[in-house]
Amino acid sequence: MRGLLRGRSIASRLFLAAAFWGASILIVAGLGLSALNAHSTEDNFDDTLELYSKALVANVAVSADEGRAAPTPVVAPQFELAFSGWYWQITRLDSAKPDIRTSKSLFGSQLPALPASDAGADNFYRGYVTGPGDKPLRVIERVIDAGDEGRYLIQVAANADVMRAQTVQFEYALSATFLALFLALTGSTALAVRFGLNPLRRLREGLIAIRRGEAERIAGQYPQDLAPLAAELNLLLDANREVVRRARTQVGNLAHALKTPLSVIVNEAEAGSPRLADKVREQAEVMSRQVSFYLDRARAAARATSIGASTEFAPVLDGLLRTFQKLYRDRDLTFESAYAPALRFRGEPQDLADLAGNLLDNAGKWAQAHVVVTAERAPSGDPSGRDYFLVHIDDDGPGLDPAARQAAVERGRRLDESRPGSGLGLSIVVDLAANYGGALELGQSPLGGLRATLRLPGF
């Protein structure tokens, strides 16, 4: 069976497997029903023979009671016709020469006795013998004791071909019925397989349409067990499309960022400036920083779209909190935490450290005495079907008004030049969180300062 199914399509495997097991079940059921019918037919045949035998026994008993010779009994009309296939025979066993009386249907023939066997619960012996014309006969016989009137062997037989003909007729009818049932089952199985696998066929056609450029996403409604697969494929397509878009954006940004230093170098060279070497060195450093910045962002974007990455949340955050606790020990800052159990970030540990580290660094710069980190699972109901969790980083610093919160996430924008930093931290967090399908939101902290809320994919 396995060899037959190896290499075939799912539809063929399902159809052939269903046809094989359906045929096997029907064959076993047919054999069982046939055997049951044969046994039942034989029992019914024996019941008829027993009825005639009891009539003969009654005749013998009455004759013995009246002390006269028993007349030839008339049991049924078929026993009066020569070689009709229905026979009876009464043999007296206790006389020197057995006295045998037979039905007219035997026409001078005699019935052979059954081989020695055990009688049933009703004292009847049953079996098969060969009768007149070499026909198989079903025989039942019984020995009765009439006391002083003698012992008699009562035999009744009938053509077994009648019983076998009934059995064969039933088997033909059963075979035809089961064959029709098998054809109906295989037909319904083929329709069920085609109907059941139709969503897979539509999914395949959707992927072909995407490969041909006729569609961008897998559209349509799918059954419950295929809907997650279609959703994950759409997410993968979106992620690949986003990688290409970000790559183009990063290349464009890098080209734009390098244009100004190159223009400065060209202008200095055309003007014949004696400070050309210093300018080249200065602008080369600027370009190096820009290249490093955009390479880091490209690497982060690539890691964010990798499949299967998973990071335990608590160990990364606990390590960061210990580091910042030591970093700001001269200011007596307290870093506290409370996480929901068993949170996992669907991404790389380095990116989680970059996300949380930039926010903790920002909170540490502005906090007066306390920084509190909490994490909880986000409410379900995301259209993509993915799970998210929320990370809240609160400080008791001066905070920001709503207008300043938007400006704070712009790349290179520093709202207070008195604090150290490049102004890139929050914008990096925004970009990196977006790479993972998350987001950064700034709001009012319960501690009075700023609350930074990260929404990240997890489980």
DSSP 152-182: EEEEEEEEHHHHHHHHHHHHHHHHHHHHHHH
Identify residue 398 by its one-letter amino acid code: P
* Under 8 Å between Cβ of 373 and 393: yes
Q: Would the pLDDT of 173 be above 70?
A: yes
Q: Where are the domains positioned within the chain?
A: 11-166, 227-304, 311-457
From the list 355, 364, 295, the residue with the least C-alpha distance to 332 is: 364
Mean pLDDT across 23-47: 92
Beta carbons within 10 angstroms of residue 173's beta carbon: 11
Please give the residue that has the higher pLDDT: either 417 or 360: 360
Q: What is the pLDDT of residue 360?
A: 92
Please determine, for residue 358, whether its predicted confidence score (pLDDT) is greater than 50. Answer: yes
**Mean pLDDT calculated for residue range 410-415:** 46
* 3-state secondary structure (DSSP) of residue 351: helix
Specify the CATH class of 11-166 in words: alpha beta
Contact in structure between 139 and 157 (CB atoms under 8 Å): yes
Say whether 281 sits in a helix, a strand or coil. Answer: helix
Whether residue 376 contacts residue 393, with contact meaning beta carbons closer than 8 Å, is answered with no
Tell me: pLDDT of 236 over 60.
Answer: yes
**Amino acid symbol at 260:** T
Q: Please give the pLDDT value at position 420.
A: 42
| Other beta carbons within 10 Å of 23 | 14
Between the alpha carbon of residue 64 and those of residues 46, 88, 92, 156, 232, the distances in Å are 26, 19, 12, 20, 96
The fold of 311-457 is Heat Shock Protein 90 (3.30.565)
Q: Is pLDDT above 80 for 73?
A: no
Whether the pLDDT of residue 421 is over 60: the answer is no
| Average pLDDT score over residue span 280-308 | 69
Q: Which two tokens stand for residue 327?
A: 């970093």
Which tens digit of pLDDT belongs to each residue from 179-198?
999 999 999 988 888 888 88
Distance separating alpha carbons of residues 317 and 314, to the nearest angstrom: 5
Residues with Cβ within 8 Å of 360's Cβ and at least 6 positions away in sequence, in order, are: 320, 321, 324, 335, 371, 373, 393
User: What element of type H or E holds 189?
Assistant: helix 160-196
What is the DSSP-derived secondary structure letter of residue 70? Answer: P
